[in-house]
Amino acid sequence: MSDAPTLLPGLAIVGGGPAGLMAAEVARAAGVEVDLYEGKGSVGRKFLIAGKGGLNLTHAEPRPGFDARYRERAPQIARWLDEFDAQDLRAWARGHGVETYVGSSDRVFPVDRKAAPLLRGWVRRLREDGVRFHVQHRWLGWSEDGALRLATPDGERRVQARACVLALGGGSWPELGSDGAWAPWLAQRGVEVAPLQPSNCGFDIAWSEHFAQRHAGAPLKPVIAHWRDADGREHALQGECVATAHGIEGSLIYALSAELRETIAREGTASLWLDLAPGRERERLQSELARPRAGRSFSEHLRRQTGLSGVKAALLHEVLDAQAKQDPARIAEAIKRLPLRLLRARPIAEAISSAGGVRLEAMDAQLQLRALPGTYCAGEMLDWEAPTGGYLLTACYASGLIAGRAAVAYLRGR
């Protein structure tokens, strides 16, 4: 370790994801000197991986419906979006030479659907504007004198910053840098941190060994999921999901993951019912299944009369006993309302995002930590969650902008 910390004249940003980069952009545009520290060898790694199949930058859903996607945190995040919403994000991308379009389900993508050109251009412009990047600088918390401790290839380094923005990510995809290691360091400084939990994740189901081996990776589409909320009200949503060796995942399940996770925490397990034949009435299915089998197997009769085969037929095998497979009414009921018992969420390392983190109540409206004046937090390390579809990324950008602007005001106030 060096004898004395490096004294920064301006702002230190720890974390090179979208929130950190956005904070750097607004601070540098205001004339503040910016040093950005990233634990990995390059910035924006999760951003790049998330955009591999087509970068879902934001969503075209109008407000206030857009705001409602953030559930109990909607009032707070709505204030972020008042400063930088989906339209602002599209305009920002255009300013970086990237046009966008509204795709299926109102998701917004770059025209070329790629993350790399946007990220490369963004980082290049930040460098040209004077942002100093320090990669392979992994944050280790604070020293006794309040300096940032950073692990580097050349040993530990200490940096004393007049103001700091932490944008360290949540707990998902730890191999890309979001490992949640920061949580105890903030807690030790009196910052309230909610436990990190998986969000936009899959769930475990006790499949038979035969099903797990034969049908892992098989898509289920289209299906309608039915579930009950904490008040017992029933809800339904159509979409697509995938059977896995451990259970079930995919966009439809991700959209429900917060409620399913909370149900498991409250009740021990969660129940989900799948309609395997959307648009087809139970009575018609029962009538078709009541036709003579003529010696055909259950699977063959099911295929001929209903068109269901593959993983959908296998799911019926999972839930129906031998006697039920002889009863057209019970088969039809299972087709329209196949019961699944979800045991637990998959590990946070597998999740697309995480819930929990720095409690918003631990910060002021400008995302400054009440316990640590001059220190701001932004992005997924905060205690909020949202479904996939561009909502996550939009709030990360917005929070980075707010934290960056507030840090500038703090530095000028000093």
Stretch 120-135: mean pLDDT = 98
- Assessment of whether the complete model's pTM goes beyond 0.85: yes
Binning pLDDT at 50, 70 and 90, where does residue 3 land?
low
Binning pLDDT at 50, 70 and 90, where does residue 8 land?
confident
Q: Looking at the predicted structure, is the pLDDT value of residue 164 above 90?
A: yes
Stretch 315-324: mean pLDDT = 97
| CA 40 – CA 134 distance, rounded (Å) | 10
* pLDDT of the residue at 104: 84
Residue 346 has what DSSP assignment?
A: P
Find out whether 394 and 14 touch, Cβ atoms under 8 Å.
no
* pLDDT of the residue at 248: 98
Q: Looking at the predicted structure, is the pLDDT value of residue 2 above 60?
A: no
- CB-side exposure of 52: number of CA atoms within 13 Å? 4
Specify the pairing of strand 11-14 against strand 34-38.
parallel
pLDDT by residue (tens digit) across 382-394?
Answer: 999 999 999 999 9
Binning pLDDT at 50, 70 and 90, where does residue 151 land?
very high
pLDDT by residue (tens digit) across 205-239?
Answer: 999 999 999 999 999 999 999 999 999 999 999 99
| CA 46 – CA 316 distance, rounded (Å) | 38
Residue 203 has what DSSP assignment?
A: E
Find out whether 395 and 387 touch, Cβ atoms under 8 Å.
no
* pLDDT of the residue at 53: 81
pLDDT by residue (tens digit) across 328-352?
Answer: 999 999 999 999 999 999 999 999 9
Stretch 279-307: mean pLDDT = 95
Q: Looking at the predicted structure, is the pLDDT value of residue 1 above 70?
A: no
* pLDDT of the residue at 50: 86
* pLDDT of the residue at 9: 86
pLDDT by residue (tens digit) across 243-286?
Answer: 999 999 999 999 999 999 999 999 999 999 999 999 999 999 99
User: Mean pLDDT across the chain, nearest whole number?
Assistant: 96
298-306 and 310-319 helices, crossing angle to 10°: 130
Domain boundaries, the chain: 6-199+352-413, 203-345
Domain 6-199+352-413 - what CATH class? Answer: alpha beta
pLDDT above 90: percentage of residues in the chain = 95
